[in-house]
Structure 1
């Protein structure tokens, strides 16, 4: 898809998303940006300037997208879907938010999409997308900034070199491979996924992670598998705790691993 068509596709999707979401979120806005360094970075910049209005930023192209632990995510026009959703939320607890987001997206995308704790979307052990959740205090409000990157077209293969823990990267996959019959563009996937995500965020604000626990378990890509943590620990993934922390069974017994401490990959 050429750049002009890809941009028109996102503008059409933005209108459909706004019509679906705005009635429940007064002041909700959708912006389509032809190019930006990072949609999450832009929302953080706005938060520092005191802006906390609900907004969805969709980028045709990201030049310095950010993944978890500083990893990059560069998007090309039409080949991927990259967006950040900024919503002022007041949950009793923020624990498990990235897992709730992952559950919502996986259910919208395809029955076989799984979740690799804490923030990756997988299909048949191949990475389909990632989630980056950040928060910012703006006056008396706390803004949830939820960044999502999804491969739409089949991406080029990654280098085969292992990381510092000796684990090779997961090969990527695109939605055109996962769900070819859907025949959706990046904009079509946005329309499919975004309104349910907003509804699930409302549920998370009201009830926390509890309503999502069973839904996560049904999509858990790691449970029962040998894994290695970024600090070198090894064990078997054993589901998640009530607050979304990963249960790890290892030599020291069953221990909980919280989201910001490690990254996890199958051994």
Structure 2
């Protein structure tokens, strides 16, 4: 049974569950439009119209976690994009609680993926709408617990495929608690430096070469960190670039080239 952790319930969070809906983010924003102001989780067994970044559809199979958290006016607008790092750390923390054996293989990929052994296992999508002076945010989190899509342009996996036994509901309960903690650390954006430091400690590819594709352009360089706003710092032969959005291509893990 899908339930909130006691810490989340005590903090005033609500939970709505579904067998099947189009997209948890869409439902969250719809509820906000109808006047919901409390922090509310929406969790479904299946999504028929799940969205990924850049409008990609996200395959939905029962046994995986499809969850969105609605937050109303969580921070000044300039800080809203930071929520994808807050969510990533909350997921990281939840995994440490329920699948500690997987922790060494789990890394965060800028801006909003989680990798297990170098393959995508978590996707996050923050969507916001502003009505009058109020910002409504849906933080969508999809975790490949039991299944993973196979026809993807990049490697994907699931916890089950890697031999880690974890239940969707167990993971969600841990996530509902870790999200409360991560949001408290973030503190409406005032604590982003702490979130950023935690994210960087778990970052995939930090200190190594990266390729970033954005709007048909390609940038190559060394991934040296995040700036104070969460932009990726890329040191290229032509100088330092700050990247606000794009598709990150990591070098394959553990490839060693010997030049004789």
TM-score range relative to shorter protein: 0.7 to 0.9
Q: Quote the offset at 1:139 in angstroms.
A: 5.1
* Separation (CA, whole Å) in 1 of partners of 2:74 and 2:186: 9
Cα 1:144/1:178, change in 2 over 3 Å: farther
Q: Quote the offset at 1:137 in angstroms.
A: 2.7
Picking from 72, 96, 112, the partner of 2:57 is 72
Q: Quote the offset at 1:138 in angstroms.
A: 4.6
Q: State how many pairs are aligned.
A: 238
Picking from 166, 185, 204, the partner of 1:184 is 166
- What do you get for the CA RMSD once the two structures are aligned? 2.0
Picking from 116, 120, 125, the partner of 2:109 is 116
1:174 aligns with 2:167: no
Cα deviations across residues 192-232 of structure 1 (Å, max 9, x unaligned)? 22211122113213424111122111111021123232322
SS of equivalent residue, structure 2 residue 15: strand
Q: Quote the offset at 1:185 in angstroms.
A: 1.3
Unaligned runs of 5+ in 1: 1-11, 160-168
Unaligned runs of 5+ in 2: 96-101, 252-260
SS of equivalent residue, structure 2 residue 93: helix
Q: Quote the offset at 1:140 in angstroms.
A: 4.4
* Separation (CA, whole Å) in 1 of partners of 2:33 and 2:41: 17
Per mean C-alpha deviation after superposition, the further-off stretch among 122-131 and 137-146 is 137-146
8 Å contact 1:96–1:245 — kept in the other structure?
A: no
| TM-score scaled by length of structure 2 | 0.84
| TM-score scaled by length of structure 1 | 0.82
Mapping 1:98-113, distance limit 5 Å? 98-109=84-95, 110-112=102-104, 113=106
Mapping 1:248-267, distance limit 5 Å? 248-258=234-244, 261-266=245-250
Picking from 198, 201, 205, the partner of 1:222 is 205
